[in-house]
Structure 1
Amino acid sequence: MIELSLVGIGTGNPEHLTRAAIRALNDADLILLPRKGSQKAELLELRRLVCADILTRPVTLAEFDLPVRSASGEYLGGVRDWHAAIAQAWAAQITAHLPQGGRVALMVWGDPSLYDSSLRIAARLGAGGMALRVSVVPGITSLSALTAAHGVALNTLGAPVMITTGRQLRDGGWPAGVDSVAVMLDAGSAFEVLDAQGVHIWWGAYLSMPQQVLVAGPLADVGARITALRADLRAEHGWIMDIYLLRR
C-alpha cells in the first residue's frame, strides 16, 4: 500500500506551511521533487529549502524531470496526455524507492483542490493498479495571498465571485452574472480583451516571496503597465506565477 499525501505549501513562503503540512512531510518515507527545466530551477530550489527548513528526520528526496505538455493539438486532450505522462513519472519513482510500499509526499503550490491537477493525476495511479490511499493537506492559495497582500475583500457585500482561468476569460469575455472575477493560470494578460472602463484590477506576482510585485488601479490606467511588467519579470526570472482580481 502506498499512502500519498498531497501537501499544500502556499505560494513559496515557508511560513505558509501549516502544522499539518509539516507533520505530513516529516511522516513521509519519500518526498517527490519535480524538475521543470533550467528556466524554472528556482521552483525546485524553493522545495529543497522547504525540506531543509522543516524536516526533523531523514527523508528520501527523489528529484525527477516533469514531462512537458505539448503545445500542439486539442487543449484538453493534450492536458490528459500530459497527466498520464506525469502519473507514469510518479509511479516510476515510487516503485524505485518504495517497492514494499510506504508513505509518499508531494508538495503542491497553493492548495491541491484549486486549479491544480495533482488529485486527478493521483487517481490515474489508482486506476493503473497501484494500491493507493490519498490524503490532502490544504494550503494557502495564491488567491488568498493576493487579497491579503492588497488588503482587499474577495467579494463585495452579499455578492458572488467567479474564479476562472485566463484562457476562459480570453475566449468568453466577462462571465455573466458576477461583478468580481478572480483570474488564475493566465499565460498572457487575458484582461486585454475586456472593455476596461469601470473595471478595477488587483494584480500580484510571486506572492509572499521576496520578489513579490503588486499593482492595483483602474484597468484602463494600469493594464498596459502590468503587461509590460509581466514580460520583464518573466525575462528576469525565467518564470512567473501571477494572479489578479477584477471588479466592475
Structure 2
Amino acid sequence: MGTPVRVRILGVGMGPQHVTAEVAEALRSVDYVLAAEKADDDRLLGLRREILRRYGDAELVALPDPPRDRSRGLTTGGYEAAVGDWHDARAAQYAAILRERGGTAAFLVWGDPSLYDSTIRVVEKVRALGVDLDYDVLAGISAPQLLAARHRIVLHEVGRPVHITTGRRLQEAVTAGLDNIVAMLNPPTDRVDFTGLDDWSIWWGANLGAPGERLVAGRVCEVLPAIAAARADAEADDGWVMDAFLIRRPR
C-alpha cells in the first residue's frame, strides 16, 4: 500500500492577522493548499494567497467552484439538498487532485472549522470516494468570537445560554422561545425575517478583521437601514461580504 495523503484543515479566522502560531507552523508543513475559486476576480482567493505568502508560501491550487442552486424560494429541505449536491461535486474535484498529487494538502477555513463550515464533511466525502487519506483539524478564530470582541460584549447573559443558527432560521429559533441568538451565514438584510423583533437589541458586524469591517448596534427597529447600508459598503470595499449578529430580547 502507498502512503496515505495527509490533509490539514486549518482555521484562519478572517485573514493573516488571525492565524495562530499553531496554524502558521502547520502551513509550513504542507505542499499545497486546495481552494474553490468562486469568480474570475475572487478576492477571498487573493486573501488566501496573502496568508500563504506570510506563512510558508505553499502552492495554491484553485479549482472552479461547482454551481449551486441559490434560489430565493428554496425550502429548508431544498436548501439542504442543494448544499449536499454542491459538497458532492466539490469532493469529486478534490479527490481527483489528491489522488494525482498525494503529499500533504491543506484547506484554509474562514473562521473556525467547527462552526458553519463543511470542509470536514467534504473531506469525509473524499475519503468515501476511495482516497486513502488521514486528516487533522486546527482551530481558528470564529466569527462569534470576533463579533463579541469588536462590540466589547459577552455573547450570553450570566448563567444563560446562547443559540447559534443561520439567518434564514432566525424566526424558527424565536418561535421555539429562544431569546439570545447568534445568526451566521446571513443573506442580505431584506431577506432576513425580523418580524416581531423591533424592540430586540442587535449587535451586528460584517467582514470582521478585514479593511471593510463594519459594526452597527442598537434596537432592531432603529438600525436595520444602517445595517443594510453598512453591509453594502463592506461588500464594496472588500469584494465579498460575510456578516454575523447577536440579537437579544429586552429584559
Give TM-score scaled by structure 2 length: 0.89
What runs of 5+ residues in structure 2 fail to find an aligned partner? Answer: none
CA distance in 2: counterparts of 1:186 and 1:114, whole angstroms: 14
How large is the Cα RMSD of the aligned pairs?
1.8
Aligned residue pairs total 240
Give the C-alpha shift of residue 89 in structure 1: 1.4
Q: Classify 1:197/1:61 alpha carbon distance in 2 versus 1 (closer, same or farther; 3 Å).
A: closer
Match of 1:239 in 2: 240
Q: Classify 1:108/1:160 alpha carbon distance in 2 versus 1 (closer, same or farther; 3 Å).
A: same
Q: Give the aligned residue type for 1:95.
A: R
Give the C-alpha shift of residue 175 in structure 1: 4.8
SS in structure 2 opposite 1:193? coil
What runs of 5+ residues in structure 1 fail to find an aligned partner? Answer: none
List structure 1 runs of 4+ shifted beyond 6 angstroms. none
Q: Classify 1:16/1:110 alpha carbon distance in 2 versus 1 (closer, same or farther; 3 Å).
A: same
Q: Give the aligned residue type for 1:20.
A: E
Match of 1:123 in 2: 124
CA distance in 2: counterparts of 1:228 and 1:60, whole angstroms: 37
CA distance in 2: counterparts of 1:71 and 1:5, whole angstroms: 29
CA distance in 1: counterparts of 2:235 and 2:48, whole angstroms: 20
Match of 2:185 in 1: 185
The residue correspondences of 1:204-219 to structure 2 (distance < 5 A) are 204-219=205-220
Could you tell me which of 35, 54, 74 is aligned with 1:33?
35
Give TM-score scaled by structure 1 length: 0.90
CA deviation vs aligned residue, 1:63-82 (integer Å, no higher than 9, x gap):
22121212357221111110
CA distance in 1: counterparts of 2:192 and 2:217, whole angstroms: 14
CA distance in 1: counterparts of 2:175 and 2:245, whole angstroms: 15
Match of 1:15 in 2: 17
CA deviation vs aligned residue, 1:45-71 (integer Å, no higher than 9, x gap):
10000000111xx63331221212123
- Whether 1:174 and 2:177 are equivalent positions in the alignment is no
- More moved, 115-124 vs 181-190: 181-190
Give the C-alpha shift of residue 192 in structure 1: 4.0
Q: Is 1:174–1:194's contact at 8 Å kept on the other side of the alignment?
A: no
Q: Is 1:29–1:103's contact at 8 Å kept on the other side of the alignment?
A: yes
Match of 1:105 in 2: 106
Q: Is 1:66–1:89's contact at 8 Å kept on the other side of the alignment?
A: no
SS in structure 2 opposite 1:198? coil
CA distance in 2: counterparts of 1:229 and 1:210, whole angstroms: 13
CA distance in 2: counterparts of 1:135 and 1:195, whole angstroms: 43
Could you tell me which of 2, 11, 32 is aligned with 2:5?
2
CA distance in 1: counterparts of 2:51 and 2:175, whole angstroms: 38
CA distance in 1: counterparts of 2:148 and 2:181, whole angstroms: 12
CA deviation vs aligned residue, 1:74-130 (integer Å, no higher than 9, x gap):
2211111100000011112222322xxx21111000011100000110111111111
CA distance in 1: counterparts of 2:175 and 2:9, whole angstroms: 31
Q: Classify 1:16/1:234 alpha carbon distance in 2 versus 1 (closer, same or farther; 3 Å).
A: closer
| Percent identical | 38
SS in structure 1 opposite 2:216? strand
Give the C-alpha shift of residue 173 in structure 1: 5.6
CA distance in 1: counterparts of 2:152 and 2:209, whole angstroms: 13
- Whether 1:80 and 2:79 are equivalent positions in the alignment is no
CA distance in 2: counterparts of 1:90 and 1:29, whole angstroms: 15
CA distance in 2: counterparts of 1:132 and 1:175, whole angstroms: 43
- Whether 1:24 and 2:29 are equivalent positions in the alignment is no
Q: Is 1:192–1:223's contact at 8 Å kept on the other side of the alignment?
A: no
